[in-house]
Amino acid sequence: MSAMADFGKVAVLLGGASAEREVSLMSGAGVLAALRSQGIDAHAFDPAERDLVELGREGFARCFIALHGRHGEDGTVQGALELLGIPYTGSGVMASAIGMDKVMTKRVWSTFGLPTPRSITLDAAQQTKERLRTVPDELGLPLIVKAPHEGSSIGVVKVNGYSDMQGAVAEAMKYDSVVLIEEFVSGDELTCPILDDKALPVVKIVAPEGKYDYQNKYFTDDVKYIVPAGLPAEEEKEIQRLAVEAFTAIGCRGWARADFMVRATDRTPYLLEINTSPGMTSHSLVPKSAAAAGIGYEALCVRILSLARLDGKD
């Protein structure tokens, strides 16, 4: 317990103002309870309800970021904490900003030669009926339309036919002025967390009818999470290698989670996105993977907190 006191007063940042507020409140509640159970002086802090300046005024020594989505996972809160001089969990300003932007993430990964599905990015001016009709010809059907700056499958729509394109783009546009349209990769859905620059066990996700959407992620027990994933040893190692490379290419630190699809026809893995502030709810994937590696939820939270840093300071 004396070692836990060395962390000082800890703020668990939760809630926030993004579309993922509800999930963040669940993640934060779990983290808060875990840290307190280990004797850490942890307190809930909701940036949607309180000014971040109060963190300095109230003597917080470090922050556990359990925020998801905009204004929590995108470098903005990280930048504020840099100005306040309060170490925080997860990636720094630049890596958080890139990781939250699926378009920029794909551009970085492509520069490093990392595999990611073929895609087209369209801003508002490019989203004409004529242009949208040509997209399936370029990427094939089905395809996936995404809001590039959201997580938790918010603003993600699968398109099965030409007539679905306009509605799918309109849904994504509720959350973003730009849409990312990707080829659909049919196969196994996998995720691989990274903790302190090392890959944890791969998790296989089996969702009903392949719909790993917001509702199934957090509010049903219909999704099966298989860990160990049951992959051939070499395939698991390759997924873990790619996860660490994707993490490093973006400039991440501390912890994150890389999501993949593995094409059924030839077992080629494709990186989909990286989450720099992953969920920590009862349904979340990082705790499940960590448990398979012998790291319990409470120990995981303490380990992540121990990695709290400021940019450029180890």
Task: Please give the DSSP secondary-structure letter assigned to residue 195.
Answer: E
The one catalytic residue in 91, 152, 277, 289 is: 152
Q: Given the residues 20, 101, 182, 236, select the one marked as catalytic.
A: 20
Examine the residue annotation and report whether 270 is marked as an active-site residue of this protein: no
Q: Is 138 helix (H, G, I), strand (E, B) or coil?
A: helix
* Residue 20: active-site member: yes
Q: Which residue is catalytic, options 253, 273, 284, 297?
A: 273
- 16, 28, 69, 279: the active-site residue: 279
In the chain the beta strands, taken as DSSP E runs, fall at 10-13, 42-45, 62-65, 119-123, 143-146, 156-159, 178-183, 187-195, 198-199, 203-206, 224-226, 255-263, 269-275
Q: For tokens 């993922």, what's the residue?
A: 20
Q: Which of 275, 277, 284, 289 is catalytic?
A: 275
Catalytic residue among 74, 150, 176, 259: 259
Under 8 Å between Cβ of 217 and 223: yes
Clarify whether 130 is annotated catalytic.
no
Selecting among 96, 99, 257, 289, the annotated active-site residue is 257
Q: What is the CA radius of gyration of the chain?
A: 19
Looking at 218, 236, 253, 289, which residue is catalytic?
Answer: 218
Tell me, yes or no, if 273 is annotated catalytic.
Answer: yes
Q: Is 234 tagged catalytic?
A: no
Task: Residue 114: count other Cβ atoms within 10 Å of its Cβ.
Answer: 18
Three-state secondary structure call for residue 241: helix
Are the CB atoms for 199 and 227 separated by under 8 Å? no
Residues with catalytic function? 20, 152, 218, 257, 259, 273, 275, 279
